[in-house]
Chains A and B, each alone.
Chain A
């Protein structure tokens, strides 16, 4: 610094020097005072609001490590979802691991490899696999043997047996529990078979393909006492757990309307999946694929894009409405609706499919004074979210949770009038990894809205499907109840079937609570 060379210029200090030297010190006092006043006001506002709401601030606790006996798993179905479930269990094909590793090398923000390698070990073994397509069946075997989560060059475990049929897999004494990730028309029969054989079941949604088999599936699971978990991983989403707390604490007041949506706009989202190059009548057990479905000659489109046909699928109702409904059922315990009415059509994907690509369903819950509106499109990605509208406050549920007071609220009227609660600022917001807060700053709101704030969760991202499967495995070991059990599954399936039946019959359908029947 130049100053050091100027020491010789330092003369005796005069009063004038001291005054000029300290002239700006009072400015500090002004900053400090201003900051103190602002902090006290913020603190007062936050305290006033958080005392009023009584919501917890912390994140839901991470469940303890899975311990106890090793569980032997059989995988049934190794398509898109089957591979994702295997990954959530800690198993991926060596070529997939290699792909993630290379991707991470090229893009530092690609965490798939690190996340997968550091995902908790669930203390399981995959001892049996089964898929009607040979290529997927072999991939499943190689995936199951990849016990060290390595690439192609890494050490592999013992080879795993691939079974020709799901019945043989379920009957195997090597299998304690099965994971079902097949087309919808097989969910029911496979769950029944597994439950009757005393095997625990993790089944993808929806629970069933027909109304009739839904009763049978519930009966089989209840009678056998196996631990059943339906694949609605949204049950593990922190923001939903916070939303449930908000409902329990009556933060929203009376709720009469809920709006949930599906907003997709790409072929993949519309179930137009790639057709594998190795697929042919020689590599696919077509008869077994058809199973309980009506007969149709071999078709690669139908095999890979089965969600587009009612013959194997439950359409938007079973595939996507169920996620939305289950989220609401998880938060509000709405149960099976009193009635359902659906309209829609095949308006964009005129590719020979039979299921609609635009669907609107309205469910009524008169006992709860509540309408649930579901509206779906596969040709627009405009994000309409999940909105729960209460008289006192409304909330938007997603990866984050945001609650705003209603300007005409009865409960908050006093605080709104005093300016403590501002209807245009959230009274509560929850962002995973950042905890909960009242009055989020505008900056944070923007970042959260763009998904920029939850790259981490407590320093580590956690896959909800992993948590959901872990909960199922822990329930098997400890005899506890998983969150999306057979009764929630029954409610989910019947609700979805009501929506579908109304669409088919073009009229409102009703649920008769006493007889547990859908009245068309």
Chain B
């Protein structure tokens, strides 16, 4: 991956908007869980389907593991959200976000024949919004913007060649 891809002002603006929007989504998902004391990933994990379902239901069946998954998920979401919005440790946050999305996708793959307790708000066939958000983070990984607009610019210095 190359840090030195020159980006036009408009290109950078749209990439930053995309980064902040995804960050907003992660941060809000995280905060809602952090502030809801009765939140538990139990129902979500138990509703897992597909090839990896046993892995996720196993996570749900051990109270300690479940507690750890809950903690990592909530604070992971919050930190990734902060990273993306503020543009701080942007690439780390982007990579971590992609990893979380892989877990979500594998636990609830939108494959034909799999039905979930919670109906989805749209119609999905292999590609769902989790997958698209994953791809969008992939784009942000190869077009990093933290050092253009973001705290990374103050921490690591701006990338002059990009603007």
Q: Are B43 and A452 in contact (CB under 8 A)?
A: yes
Q: Are B54 and A108 in contact (CB under 8 A)?
A: yes
- 1/0 per residue, CB under 8 A from B, across A182-205: the answer is 000000000000000000000000
Contacts of B117 on A, CB cut-off 8 Å? Answer: 446-447, 449-450, 452
Contacts of A369 on B, CB cut-off 8 Å? Answer: none
Given A35-B31, A447-B117, is A28 in contact with B46 using a C-beta cutoff of 8 Å? no
CA distance A27 to B63 in the complex (A): 36
A515: interface (CB < 8 Å)? no
Q: Are B118 and A10 in contact (CB under 8 A)?
A: no
- 1/0 per residue, CB under 8 A from A, across B13-35: the answer is 00010001001100110011001
Of B31, B38, B153, the residue contacting A17 (CB under 8 A) is B153
Q: Are B43 and A453 in contact (CB under 8 A)?
A: yes
- Residue of A at shortest CB range from B35? A39
B132: interface (CB < 8 Å)? no
A431 to chain B, nearest CB (A): 9
B149: interface (CB < 8 Å)? yes
Of B1, B43, B156, the residue contacting A7 (CB under 8 A) is B156
A25: interface (CB < 8 Å)? yes
Q: Are B86 and A28 in contact (CB under 8 A)?
A: yes
A443: interface (CB < 8 Å)? yes
Main SS of chain B's interface residues? helix
A422-460 interface (Cβ within 8 A of B): 434-435, 437, 443-444, 446-450, 452-453, 455-456, 459
Q: Are A9 and B160 in contact (CB under 8 A)?
A: yes
A449 to chain B, nearest CB (A): 8
Contacts of A20 on B, CB cut-off 8 Å? Answer: 148-150, 153, 158
Q: Are B35 and A452 in contact (CB under 8 A)?
A: no
B68 to chain A, nearest CB (A): 15
CA distance A25 to B28 in the complex (A): 15
Q: Are A13 and B1 in contact (CB under 8 A)?
A: no
CA distance A3 to B159 in the complex (A): 10
Interface size of B by Cβ–Cβ distance < 8 Å? 49
CA distance A24 to B86 in the complex (A): 6
Q: Which of A2, A21, A28, A34 has the most CB of B within 10 A?
A: A21
Given contacts A22-B151, A35-B28, 10 further A-B contacts (CB under 8 A): A9-B158, A20-B150, A24-B16, A24-B87, A27-B23, A31-B28, A108-B61, A434-B38, A456-B42, A456-B63
B91 to chain A, nearest CB (A): 6
Main SS of chain A's interface residues? helix
Interface size of A by Cβ–Cβ distance < 8 Å? 41
CA distance A266 to B31 in the complex (A): 46
Contacts of A31 on B, CB cut-off 8 Å? Answer: 24, 27-28, 31, 81, 85
Q: Are B92 and A1 in contact (CB under 8 A)?
A: yes
B129-149 interface (Cβ within 8 A of A): 147-149
B153 to chain A, nearest CB (A): 4
Residues of B in contact with A (beta carbons under 8 Å apart): 1, 3, 16, 20, 23-24, 27-28, 31-32, 35, 38, 40, 42-44, 46-47, 54, 57-58, 60-61, 63, 81-82, 85-87, 89, 91-92, 117-119, 147-160
Q: Are B35 and A35 in contact (CB under 8 A)?
A: yes
Residues of A in contact with B (beta carbons under 8 Å apart): 1-4, 6-7, 9-11, 13, 17-18, 20-25, 27-28, 31, 34-35, 39, 108-109, 434-435, 437, 443-444, 446-450, 452-453, 455-456, 459
Of B24, B42, B148, B159, the residue contacting A27 (CB under 8 A) is B24
Of A9, A35, A455, the residue contacting B157 (CB under 8 A) is A9
A356 to chain B, nearest CB (A): 35
- Residue of B at shortest CB range from A445? B118
Q: Are A24 and B149 in contact (CB under 8 A)?
A: yes
A446 to chain B, nearest CB (A): 5
- Residue of A at shortest CB range from B46? A452
CA distance A446 to B44 in the complex (A): 11
Given A17-B154, A22-B151, A108-B54, is A455 in contact with B42 using a C-beta cutoff of 8 Å? yes
Contacts of B156 on A, CB cut-off 8 Å? Answer: 3-4, 6-7, 10
Q: Are B82 and A28 in contact (CB under 8 A)?
A: yes
Q: Are B157 and A447 in contact (CB under 8 A)?
A: no
CA distance A13 to B132 in the complex (A): 37
Contacts of B57 on A, CB cut-off 8 Å? Answer: 108-109
